[in-house]
């Protein structure tokens, strides 16, 4: 499965990763981790997919875990930015929550290969890197919790358990990366719209 889904700038996958050899290795690692899992993937697998020798990988990444951390950090930063943009926009809490869910789901659908690695290989990270990524996840949780809390305060939502509902909303969105198929019957936009409606019903949004 190709990570051509991950584009920035002039349609170059992971354009912020430089130099070019480091970027190619990262793209290859995303594909390999998503297809085989982190532990079943070797540095030789990654280098081979990138058209390089295993020795070339260590010029840019000291370990396979460092590669996973780079992927995870970029992916979590991007996902957090999507949520923050929606949360800080104009509109009611319901509008902002729907926008956050719509955008977050679309991100996980459009970038399902990367998202599977980002969301489901956390335990493969070393303690220091895992702690860093967990903090980014907490920030994402805080963004969604803030929107829901503001909706409750404004009388827009009826949510007895804001933390629990926040967890349910994020889990629902993240799971899209596990099952989404680009050749399936629904587009990322359609899935995002569906989930936005489902979440508004979850929080009993007043129409």
The answer, yes or no, to whether residue 4 has pLDDT greater than 50, is no
Q: Work out the pLDDT band at 12, boundaries 50, 70, 90.
A: low
pLDDT digits (tens, 9 = 90+) for 154-192: 999 999 999 999 999 999 999 999 999 888 889 999 999
The answer, yes or no, to whether residue 13 has pLDDT greater than 70, is no
Alpha helices in 10-63 (DSSP H): 20-36, 43-49, 54-60
pLDDT digits (tens, 9 = 90+) for 46-95: 999 999 998 999 999 999 999 999 999 999 999 999 999 999 999 999 99
The per-residue pLDDT for 73 is 95
- Closest to 169 in 3D by CA, of 98, 106, 118, 120: 98
Rounded CA-CA distance 189/4 in Å is 18
Average pLDDT over residues 113-126: 92
Rounded CA-CA distance 111/13 in Å is 11
Q: Are 196 and 98 in contact (CB under 8 A)?
A: yes
Distance, first Cα to last Cα, the chain: 41
Q: Work out the pLDDT band at 1, boundaries 50, 70, 90.
A: very low
């Amino acid at each position: 499965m190709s990570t051509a889904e991950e584009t920035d700038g002039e349609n170059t996958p992971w354009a912020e990763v430089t130099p070019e050899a480091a970027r190619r290795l990262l793209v290859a690692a995303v594909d390999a981790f998503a297809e085989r899992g982190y532990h079943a993937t070797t540095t030789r697998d990654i280098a081979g997919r990138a058209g390089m020798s295993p020795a070339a990988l260590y010029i840019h990444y000291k370990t396979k875990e460092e590669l996973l951390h780079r992927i995870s950090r970029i992916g979590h930063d991007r996902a957090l930015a999507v949520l923050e943009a929606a949360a800080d926009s104009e509109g009611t809490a319901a509008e902002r929550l729907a926008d956050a869910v719509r955008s977050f789901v679309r991100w996980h659908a459009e970038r399902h290969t990367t998202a599977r690695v980002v969301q489901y290989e956390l335990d493969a990270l070393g303690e220091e890197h895992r702690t860093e990524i967990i903090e980014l996840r907490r920030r994402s949780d805080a963004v969604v919790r803030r929107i829901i809390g503001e909706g409750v305060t404004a009388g827009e939502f009826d949510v007895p358990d804001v933390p629990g509902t926040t967890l349910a909303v994020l889990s629902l969105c993240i799971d899209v990366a596990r099952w989404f198929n680009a050749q399936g019957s629904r587009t990322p936009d359609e899935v995002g719209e569906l989930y936005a409606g489902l979440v508004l019903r979850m929080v009993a949004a007043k129409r």
